[in-house]
Amino acid sequence: VAITQAEKKRIKTLYSKKGRKSAGQFAAEGIRLLEESLRSKYLPIIVYCADSELSDRGHQLVRDFKTMGVSVINLSSRDLSAITETESSQGLLGLFEIPDSKLENLTAKNGMILLLDNISDPGNVGTLFRSALAFGFEAVIMANESVDPYNSKVVRSSAGAVFGLPIISATGNEIFRFKKNNEFKLIVADIGGNDLCASITNIRKYVRLILALGSEAAGISASVASMADLKVRINHSKKVDSLNVAVAGSIIMKELYR
Amino acid sequence: VAITQAEKKRIKTLYSKKGRKSAGQFAAEGIRLLEESLRSKYLPIIVYCADSELSDRGHQLVRDFKTMGVSVINLSSRDLSAITETESSQGLLGLFEIPDSKLENLTAKNGMILLLDNISDPGNVGTLFRSALAFGFEAVIMANESVDPYNSKVVRSSAGAVFGLPIISATGNEIFRFKKNNEFKLIVADIGGNDLCASITNIRKYVRLILALGSEAAGISASVASMADLKVRINHSKKVDSLNVAVAGSIIMKELYR
C-alpha cells in the first residue's frame, strides 16, 4: 500500500493546532503553495500526489520536487482526498517541518520586522505575511494570543509567504531583550499616534525597526505598547472608526519599503 | 407569539443569495454592525432582540432605534438564536432593505468610485468596502461575477461600511455609458501598469475617477480593461508574485485620499 491507515490518521491531526504542535509538522496543498515552497527552498518532508488529478503544471512541480530529492508518493484520488483538507488540492499535498525558530537566533539584524500582537483572524495574519514578504520585511514575530501561523487558513492566505519568512513566536520579555540588544526601534500602529505621512522621514532614519500591530478589538497589548519608540496612525475619513488590521499594516509596510 | 414559524423560516432564507434576491432584504447582526447602520442612517426595517442577552451598549442601541421609529421585537434567546447566523449576535438582529440602486442615478459625480470586477472572496470585498469608505470613495460598482455585496460575510468584513456607501451592480455597457456621460477617468490596478508613486501627480489631476480592481486569479476582465485610461501597479519585492487584492486596492485608495 502507498499509504497506511495510521499515516492517514496522523496527517489528519495536522489540521488542528494541537496535532501540529505534537508532530512538529504542518500540511499545505495545491500547486501555488507548493510552488512557493520550492521558490523559497523550504522543501517538504514528503509530497503526496494523485497523478490522475495533476495538471501539466502539477506534473512539472512533482518532477522538480523529485529533482530536489523530495520523496513523492503517488496515491489514488480517493486516498489523497482522505488526507487533504479542501476541495482544491489540485492533486498535491506536502508535509513540512515547523521550524524551531528562536528570536535570539534571528540574524535579520539590519532590517524590518513585523510584530503581530494578539491577532487572531487567520485571513488577516496570512495576508500580513504576504505583504511583509512583498515589502521587504525580513521576519515576523508572533506575540501573545496570535493565531497559529501554520493554521491552514493562514498558510493559504499567505499565498506561500509562510515559506519565505522566518516566523517566530516570542514573549514580551524576549522581544524586549532582542530589541535592546540589537538596537531596534519599535513602531506601533495606533489610532492615537502621529500621522504616518508626517512621520515617514523620521522613520526612514531607523536602521532597524519592528512594526507592531495589535488586535482590532483590543489594540496593542500593554507589554508591547510600553516598548514603543513611536506610534503612527493612518489618516482616513471619520466615516469609519478604523481600518482592517491587514490593510493598515500593509499600508504602513508599503510606506516603509525601500 | 412574538415571531411566527413562517417568519423565522423567511428570515433564514436571507442567508442565501437566492433568498435575499427574492425578499429584497438582508440581515445583519451584532452591536457594531447595527450601530454603523444607525450612524449611516440606513435604518433597519425591523430589529429582533433578546433583552436578556443585551449589554448596556445593546440596550442603548435598542433605545436609539426606537427613538428613530424602528420596530423592535423582543424575543426569547432561543427564538433569536433560531434566526441569527453566528454565535456573536450579541442579542441583536436587524433586517434591511436591499436598495435598488442604478448606476445612471448615481449622483457621486465629482468624486472617486471603486469598481470591483469579478472579485469573489467575501472577506476581500467587505474589506474593500471598509477601505473605500475610509478613503473618501463615494460609491462601489460591482461588475461581472463579483460576490453578492449583501452576503453576510461581506457585511461583517465591511464593518458596516455596506451601510455607508451606495453599492451598485452594473454591466460593462452601463459602466461605459456612465463613464462617458460623466467624464470619469478609469484607472486599473494591473501588475503590468505604471508605478503608482510615479503616476500619482497625474492621477490627482483627475476630477472624477473610477478605480477598477480585478480578480487575483484572472485579472481585470477584457470589457473593463478596454475602458482604462491608466494602469497602475504597486512596487514590491520580487519575492511575491502579487499582493492580496484588498491590500492592493486599499493602498491605491489611500494614495488617492484627499
**CA A58 to centroid of chain Cα atoms:** 24
Burial class (CB in 10 A: 0-12, 13-18, 19+), A93: buried
**Which residues on B lie below 8 Å from A237 (Cβ)?**
133-136, 257
Helix axes B122-134, A245-256, angle to 10 degrees: 70
Closest-CA distance of chain B to residue A55, Å? 16
Q: Residue B109: what pLDDT? A: 61
Mean of per-residue pLDDT scores for chain B: 94
* Backbone dihedral angles phi then psi of residue A46, each to the nearest 5 degrees: -155, 150
Handedness of CA A228, A234, A239, A240 (dihedral sign): negative
Find which of A124, A238, A247, A258 to mutate to test the B interface (most B CBs within 10 Å of its CB). Answer: A247
pLDDT in tens, B110-143: 699 999 999 999 999 999 999 999 999 999 999 9
Q: Is the pTM of this model over 0.90?
A: yes
Which residues touch B11 (CB under 8 Å, ≥6 apart)?
B27, B83, B93, B95
Q: Is the pLDDT of residue A108 over 70?
A: no
Q: Residue B88: what pLDDT? A: 84
Q: Is the pLDDT of residue B100 over 80?
A: yes
Q: Centre a 10 Å sphere on the Cβ of residue A253 and count the other Cβ atoms it contains.
A: 24
CB B30 within 8 A of CB B92: yes
pLDDT in tens, A177-205: 999 999 999 999 998 999 999 999 999 88
How are beta strands B209-214 and B185-195 bridged, if at all? parallel
| CB-based contact B133 A243, cutoff 8 Å | no
Nearest-angstrom CA–CA distance, B16 and B216: 25
The model's confidence at residue A109, banded by pLDDT at 50, 70 and 90, is low
CB A122 within 8 A of CB A26: no
| CB-based contact B247 A243, cutoff 8 Å | no
Using a pLDDT cut of 90, give the percent of chain B over it: 88
Q: Residue B213: what pLDDT? A: 97
Q: Is the pLDDT of residue A157 over 80?
A: yes
Cα-trace Rg, chain B: 20
Q: Which residue matches cell numbers 512596487?
A: B235
The residue that leads in pLDDT, B16 or A1, is B16
Q: Residue B36: what pLDDT? A: 96
- Of A141-145, B96-100, B105-109, B159-163, the one with minimum mean pLDDT is B105-109
Q: Centre a 10 Å sphere on the Cβ of residue A77 and count the other Cβ atoms it contains.
A: 13
Cell of A238: 471619520
Q: Is the pLDDT of residue A258 over 90?
A: no
Q: Residue A92: what pLDDT? A: 97
Q: Which residue matches cell numbers 440606513?
A: B42
B-chain residue closest to A40, CA distance: B239
CB A136 within 8 A of CB A254: no
CB A136 within 8 A of CB A258: yes
For B156-217, what is the HEC assignment? HHCCCHHHCCCEEECCHHHHHHHHHHCCCEEEEEEEEEEEHHHHHHHHCCCCCEEEEEEECC
A-chain residue closest to B136, CA distance: A237
Q: Residue A145: what pLDDT? A: 81
- Of A142-146, B28-32, B71-75, B235-239, the one with minimum mean pLDDT is A142-146
| CB-based contact B244 A130, cutoff 8 Å | yes
